[in-house]
Amino acid sequence: MNLLTLDSRSMRGQTTVPQQLTIQDDPKTLRDLHSLCGSINWVSPLIGITTEDLAPLFNLLHGNGGMDSPCALMPEARHTITKVQEALSSHQAHRIKPSLPLQFVILDSYPGQISIHVPKHRLFNRYCAFNLMPKLIQSRTPLKALMVFTDGSGASHKSVMTWMDHKTQKWESDVQILEGSPQIAELAAVVRAFEKFKDKPFNPVIDTAYIAGIAMRAEHALLKEVSKFTPN
């Protein structure tokens, strides 16, 4: 049984395409059948052939006959060999380098529901971790858009955001009183900015590195409601 016969034309990028796969589909003796079943059993996990699929063929190995005794294939066993042949002809072998990132891109206009099902193969279980990541919308380069300034005060407990209305050319502001640290006050202002200008691009101007870091990572964060923690 020749599983793969490769030449230089079969290597395309990271995919190995099999060439002229052949199976000894008419074993004459029990020895031939043993050899065929051993080869199929080795490659079956790679081509999606299950133990149940191979049962009609493997059942012929049972018996007390000698290794050189004649072997006759039943129709079910021949069907199994044909199924293996078709699977070998349609599958491809892929190489993976764990240090390189793997990205699968789906257009954001896709209207359906997306779920992840990792293939049950040791290659994926050992090297790959699949995470669904939406398209990036934040930009590290300032946009030609509205500038929104945020700040927070621990002394006055003011949470402030301010911006210039391009239509009226006047400065607008949103000030709220919020108990807590200056970081909490400014974070609340940043949240209000994203809520107010959620339908158009804007540049948040944040003067606290800690809050800026949170804002940059928020796009792909998994958030949940938590109660406010007050130390004893």
pLDDT for 94-108, tens place per residue?
A: 566 667 666 555 565
The torsion angles phi and psi of 217, rounded to 5 degrees, stand at -90, -5
pLDDT at 205: 92
pTM of the model: 0.42
Residue 149 pLDDT > 90: yes
Residues belonging to the chain = 232
Q: What is the torsional sign of CA 83, 84, 89, 90? A: positive
Beta bridge partners of 152: 159
> What are 164-221's pLDDT values in tens digits?
988 899 999 999 998 888 889 999 999 999 999 988 899 999 988 888 888 888 776 6
